[in-house]
Structure 1
Amino acid sequence: MPDFDLGASIPPHTAHAVSVSLPTWKSNIGYEEGEDWVVGRMATGYPRFFIHRSIQAFAADIVARFGAKDSKAFLFPTRQIATRCVCFVNAHAPPAVAASLDTVHLVLDTTQSTPEALASLSPVISAVLCSQEAFPFLKQYWQHTGDGVSSRRAEFCHTLFKDGLLRLDDGATTPAPTSPKPCRGPKRYQRPASVDTTRVTPSPKPSPDRDSGIGHDIHETSRFLEERFGRNLDVSFVQPAKSAIKRRIAGALRSDSELTTAPPPEHEMESNSRGVVNLKEDDIYLFPCGMSAIFNSHRALLGARGSMKSANFGFPYVDTFKILEKFGPGAVFYGHGSESDLDDLEKRLQGGERFLALFCEFPGNPLLTCPNLTRIRQLADKYDFAVVVDETIGTFANVNVLPFADIVASSLTKIFSGDCNVMGGSAIFNPNGRYYAALKEWARTEYEDTYWPEDVMFMERNSRDFVSRVDRINANAEAICDVLKDSPLVKSVFYPKCNASRASYEVCKLPSGGYGGLLSVVFLRHEQAVAFYDAVDTAKGPSLGTNFTLTSPYVLLAHYQELDWAEEFGVERDLIRISVGLEETEHIVDVFKAALKAAGESTGAQE
């Protein structure tokens, strides 16, 4: 197990790492409080919460060339997304703050002799420039939607920008549009992120010669492109890689062989683990991260069905409910996700209330409880609402939820990738769903494929052994669950196999599936939780679904400003979430036994 210093990337020495080391309980609190001894040492962070250094550097250079003094910039992959960001700020910020926004759109300069492969990458960047006062509102949009640029896109396009190969698009600098200001939703969902005031050291302003491309050697760009992609990231493999990813998501592609440009077998999609023989590759949509998949699923339903409230069923991942609250007419919140909650929903429906959709996770995060999808599907069919299921934690190697859902979303960043070095997300439109035709029509005009080719190639390579990794992780998680359940220090263990909602999980569990790699534990005393976390010899930081075990005081990180509210739904503030990895079972069990011993010694108890 490598040593993880405070603020170091997880995995170590990884330029585009998805997690960051917070090795002690105190450091997690320091992160949430924005204390410099933590935030100042962070080399990176979870990408939707911490703006990657490569993105910061590019944004600083754009501001230096196009912006006012002390302004900031957020980078997006298309003009349309940047426009949505501006509309969001107009709707939520005071008019004087929203008035500070400008947009800059950069495209490849095709007047220069650029390689065809470079043009095929579509290296486009749209920047929203803002004042310091507007920064927190743009940061909300960035965090909630997941539609910002990836660090690899920023790094690649920044080089082109400095080499004078990106030009200002026609009409690129535009005033911010105006729109009415709606309700912002409950106060508890409006806390600023701890690292909203990200420190940025502007890069030196490029020289006029470099700006204009004068003296630029196109051979340098060709060499840069070749070195950047190389033999393993050939541009010609991008579309086959997307196809392979989609077929793995469908449960149709079982081969882990090297990628080729040959067309896939004609009937491969018909034999898939989703149990939907008419599922097609183009029913699966790829996104730059899992939250983008959720956000755009919500957008799709609003576009297909009109503006209606949704129901958030079960205690949600933090940004899902924020999307439902802030990007539409709102949502009804059923935080327990229980049968009595379904009773209440049914009474509302019987009374005439109508909903756009019910959003749920299977299982939920962090309590690992499972909604009754059979009953939810029956209610949806009877009362005409869509069902959106986030299967990230269950994973489609363990469960099949598509027959119960109109849309199935997943964060590919997690165990599908496993390597914790690339983001990605997916959404499946159920071809047998009531709203399928309307959703497909929305996608025909509104869906933008913004998944950066480099990220695609890393995701395809990482996911080749997805199914075999899940099998190993399932076994390790069950072994750790047994160790924790047997400890007299432990108050509760949350895991699909031992939760009260196990029957709901079994309905969707595949014959070859297990119970997943995520579990949570609550100790009898606060000191025991702190001692256990500080002592456990695993990587410790945000995210889940990594090939290595990753431990986190999840509730502190996700709900620090609303701990009392979270406890109303059984989510205790000292809960520790464990994402189990691929270590040898005997070794990882010993790691947790040692941490339990330290927890016992913290209060004089005997393990």
Structure 2
Amino acid sequence: MPAKQITTAFGHSIAPEGPHTITFHVPGWDVIRGFRNGDPKVLSRLRSIYPRFGPFFEARDFVMALHKKLGLSPTQGLLPFIDPECFTMAQDFAFSKYRKEEHRLAKEELEFRVVDVGKVRVYVVVFPQAKAKGVMGIWQNQGYGVSTRLSEELLKGEGEMKVLEWEGRGDQDVGLGKVPAPTYLEEGEAHGELRRRIVGLLRRAAPGEVKVAEGDVFLAPTGMAAITKLYKAVGKVRPAPVVVLGSVFHNSWHLFKEGPGGLKHFGDVNEGMVGKLEEYLEVEKAEGRQVSFVFLEFPSNPILESVDLKRLRGLADKYGFPIVVDDTIGSFCNVDVLPVADIIVSSLTKSFSGYANVMCGSIILNPSSAHYPLVQPTFTSTLHNIFYSRDATQLLHNSSDYLTRSSILNRNALALATFFHAHSRPFRPTSPITKVLYPPFTSTLSNYTALMRPATEDFTPGYGCLLSIDFATEKASRAFYEAVNFHKGPHLGAHETLVLHFNETVWGDDKEQADYQASIGALKEQLRFAVGLEEVGVLIDTVKAALQAAEAEE
């Protein structure tokens, strides 16, 4: 088949482009670095963006309307939220020791306003535009920001905006009870339908009894918002460090690292890792300390390795900590982590949605968990709805063909990984490809297959849509990247394939962190592929042509 051709213009999204699309195409090895570093030459060309990266694109009209209503100067920026927790999160982030000196805000530079737009109360964080990088993390890491659809709806009420007399600053107590009471958002029928669909998927092809009910499923506006809500809720009853296993998404890493309990990381996913974890737990126990929970991705992003969850379950029972599994990469249809997880978090933005036009995250509490009686009341009393009803409706529509799409994603990713594996070393000693990172080609395959769902007449589980490839040199990786006709940008689970030099994008401006991530397998020469729904032949022919360019650099 002929290789894929990309006609998407720079800065635009995968077709069909619209006001709520969440991908952007930024070809060029050095260009994504410019995006990461806030290069205005790159940002000015973007016409679409992953909404959690910034509110100033699809939601910009609402942001501008708030800016005008509040009478802010051109040197001031703002971030709008529905949850008043954003005020204390802004304080924690903006004044943190982790902010660079030039980005860290003085307490008097952070301001808080409240605006009613119809029946919805909006909490606005105001800051000096010059120090936007010192605040934007609460939009990116915590994921609480208003969605593009909600922004669109609130903009209709621009003429009815009412600024409340209450104002706050960074040096004040702005916790719950100190600010005007929130309205949150009304749930619609789609919220309940989504919970029922998720429960049905958990019960589908499950060898054991699944006790999860609709009330055990909580929805959030993004995957990171789900992780943040989980972190806060568990932290209320288990205030202690979070232990992270293996490679995890960089926003999750930053969230835990900068949190009140801190982070303990075991990065090398091998047979000895669980033993090292047990040694650590023994020391903590002997000194009267505990861990809040153990967090991992199954499999991990972007290395695609799988922790031995069954052995970890034994440690959790012995030392009394909950296991939190992010199953976004494996996905509900392929893996069943409920028998070993106390809590499951997922980014439903990815393959569950599949069409790159809506965001959502879910938290699932396991009623069979020994920790359920302790954490469940905290969740039900502190988690309020900030997931907009039109987003829920769109996600419900998108996920109706989840199993059908997942079959294709599994097939395509396996075919592409198999091709790369056959063209890698040692099969071809001069190949620029040194390693294929996809569950069947990793040393942790047995850990993954131990939790795969059984096949049924209508679906055969697989390994998901994400894979990564290690190249021998950065020159070869760059040559392949520049030559391959896939969309270039972040996201996974979409209907068309994307590729990204992911590790360089997220860690490249922090040499210490980049070196550490490389030590556990997240190399700068690595490319991450999020495979789509194209024909297998098109995918293979597309990478064949690019591989020739990489081989020419060896």
Task: State the TM-score, normalizing by the size of structure 2.
Answer: 0.88
Q: Is the Cα contact below 8 Å between 1:103 and 1:128 reproduced in 2?
A: yes
Q: Report the counterpart of residue 549 of structure 1 in structure 2.
A: 497
Question: Are 1:589 and 2:525 counterparts?
Answer: no
Distance 1:363 1:101 in 2: 39
Contact 1:357/1:388 (<8 A) preserved: yes
Aligned to 2:458: none
Q: Counterpart of 1:116?
A: none
Distance 2:105 2:355 in 1: 44
Specify which of 209, 224, 230 is matched with residue 291 of structure 1.
224
CA contact (8 A) 2:95 2:105 kept: no
Segment drifting more, 473-482 vs 88-97: 88-97
Distance in 2 between residues matched to 1:323 and 1:524, nearest whole Å: 32
1:44-63 to 2 correspondence within 5 Å? Answer: 44-63=48-67
User: CA offsets, 1:275-323, max 9 Å, x none?
Assistant: 4432100100000010111111111111122x11110110111011211
Q: Deviations over 1:544-567 (max 9, x none)?
A: 111111111111211112332321
Structure 1 residues 136 and 33, CA gap change in structure 2 (3 angstroms): closer
Q: Secondary structure at the match of 2:79?
A: strand
Call closer, same or farther: CA 1:586–1:333 in 2, change over 3 Å. same
Match of 2:111 in 1: 102
Aligned twin of 1:36: 40
Q: What is the alpha-carbon distance in structure 2 between the residues aligned to residue 271 and residue 372 of structure 1?
A: 23
Provide closer, same or farther for how the CA distance between residues 130 and 37 of structure 1 changes in structure 2, counting only shifts above 3 A. Answer: closer
% identical aligned pairs = 29
How has the CA–CA distance of structure 1 residues 29 and 323 changed in structure 2, closer, same or farther, with 3 Å as cutoff? closer
Match of 1:350 among 279, 282, 286: 282
Q: 1:338: how far off?
A: 2.7
Q: Which runs of 5+ in 2 are unaligned?
A: 175-184, 424-430, 456-460
Verify the 8 A CA contact 2:14 2:496 in the aligned structure 1.
Answer: no
- Aligned partner of 2:133 in structure 1 is 136
Please give the alpha-carbon distance, in whole angstroms, between the structure 2 residues aligned to 1:345 and 1:126. 41
- Residue 77 of structure 1: aligned partner: 82
Query: Which residue, 475, 498, 502 being the options, matches 2:411?
Result: 475
Deviates further, 365-374 or 137-146: 137-146
1:470-525 superposed Cα distances (whole Å, 9 cap, x missing partner): 11111111111111112133110000011000010011111121111111001223
Offset at residue 97 of structure 1 (A)? 1.7
1:243 lines up with 2:210 in the alignment? no
Aligned counterparts, 1:519-534, within 5 A: 519-534=467-482
Find the counterpart in structure 2 of residue 114 from structure 1: none
CA–CA distance in structure 2, aligned partners of residues 528 and 335 of structure 1:
27
Secondary structure, counterpart of 1:126 in structure 2: strand
Matches of 1:12 and 1:43, distance apart in 2? 13
Deviation at 1:24, TM superposition (A): 1.9
Matched, 1:507 2:450: yes
Contact 2:233/2:375 (<8 A) preserved: yes
Cα deviation 1:177-198 (Å, max 9, x = unaligned): 5479xxxxxxxxxxxxxxxxxx
Q: Which residue of 1 aligns with 2:380?
A: 444
Larger Rg belongs to: 1
Alignment partner, residue 398 of structure 1 = 334
Contact 2:93/2:137 (CA < 8 Å) preserved in 1?
no
1:5 alignment counterpart: 9
Q: State the number of aligned residues.
A: 516
The offset of 1:589, in angstroms, is: 1.5
Change (3 A) 1:55 1:270: closer
Q: Does 1:168 align with 2:100?
A: no
| RMSD across aligned positions (CA) | 2.4
Work out whether residues 105 and 131 of structure 2, in 8 Å CA contact, stay in contact via their aligned partners in 1: no
Contact 1:314 1:338 in 2 (8 A): no
Between 487-496 and 55-64, report the one with greater CA deviation.
55-64
Q: 1:35 to 1:104 in 2, by over 3 A?
A: closer
Distance in 2 between the 1:325 and 1:525 partners? Answer: 31
Which of these residues, 296, 309, 321, is aligned with residue 373 of structure 1? 309
Work out the CA distance in 1 between the residues paired with 2:332 and 2:203: 16
Deviations 1:74-107 (A, max 9, x none): 1101334344434543555799722222222222
CA–CA distance in structure 1, aligned partners of residues 134 and 15 of structure 2: 30
CA contact (8 A) 2:105 2:134 kept: no
- Find the aligned partners of 1:400 and 1:52 in 2 and give their Cα distance: 38
Matched, 1:427 2:363: yes
Aligned to 2:154: 157
After superposition, the Cα gap between the structure-2 partners of 1:96 and 1:519, relative to the gap in structure 1 and judged at 3 Å, is: closer
Q: Tell me the SS of whatever aligns to 1:312.
A: strand
Is the deviation greater in 383-392 or in 68-77? 68-77
* Distance in 1 of aligned mates of 2:370 and 2:498: 40
- Distance (whole Å) between structure 2 residues aligned to residue 524 and residue 90 of structure 1: 41
Partner SS, residue 434 of structure 1: coil
Find the partner of 2:240 among 305, 308, 311. Answer: 308
Distance (whole Å) between structure 2 residues aligned to residue 428 and residue 544 of structure 1: 21
Letter in 2 for 1:507: A
Q: Which amino acid aligns with 2:124?
A: A
- Cα deviation, 1:118-158, whole Å, max 9, x if unaligned, reads xxxx5332111122355323211111100111122112212
Cα distance in 2, alignment partners of residues 408 and 26 from structure 1:
36
2:178 corresponds to which residue?
none
Q: In 1, distance between residues paired with 2:88 and 2:72?
A: 20
Match for residue 215 of structure 2?
A: 282
Larger relative contact order (C-alpha < 8 A, sep ≥ 6)? 2
CA distance in 1, matches of 2:508, 2:105: 30
Counterpart code for 2:50? Y
Secondary structure of residue in 2 paired with 1:404: coil
TM score, norm. by length of structure 1: 0.80
**How far off its partner does 1:45 sit?**
2.1
Relative distance call for 1:154 and 1:539 in structure 2 (3 A) is same
Q: Secondary structure at the match of 2:166?
A: coil
In structure 2, the CA distance between the partners of 1:395 and 1:156, relative to structure 1 (3 Å rule), is same
Residues in 2 aligned to 1:134 and 1:67: alpha-carbon distance in whole angstroms: 19
- How far apart in 2 are the matches of 1:29 and 1:137? 19
The structure-2 alpha-carbon separation of the partners of 1:515 and 1:430, relative to structure 1 and needing over 3 Å to count, comes to same
Alignment of 1:380-391 (within 5 A): 380-391=316-327
- Secondary structure of the corresponding residue to residue 552 of structure 2: helix
Distance 1:526 1:82, change over 3 A: same
Mapped partners of 1:473, 1:173: distance in 2: 49
2:139 aligns to what SS in structure 1? helix
SS of the equivalent of 2:412 reads: helix
2:440 corresponds to which residue?
A: 497
Please give the secondary structure, in 2, of the residue aligned with 1:561.
coil
Query: What's the CA shift for 1:452?
Result: 0.9
State how far apart, in whole Å, the 1-side matches of 2:38 and 2:92 are: 28
Q: Is the Cα–Cα contact under 8 Å of residues 63 and 129 in structure 1 kept in the other structure?
A: no
Query: Would you say the 8 A contact 1:87–1:179 is kept in 2?
Result: no
> Does residue 359 of the first structure (1) align with residue 295 of the second (2)?
yes
- State whether structure 2 residue 143 is matched by structure 1 residue 146: yes
Alpha-carbon shift at residue 68 of structure 1 (Å):
4.1
Question: What is the match of residue 214 of structure 1?
Answer: none
Q: Which amino acid aligns with 2:67?
A: V
| Aligned-pair CA distance for 1:414 | 0.5
- 1:297 & 1:360 partners in 2: Cα distance? 13
Asked if the contact 1:413–1:423 (Cα under 8 Å) also holds between the matched residues in 2, the reply is yes
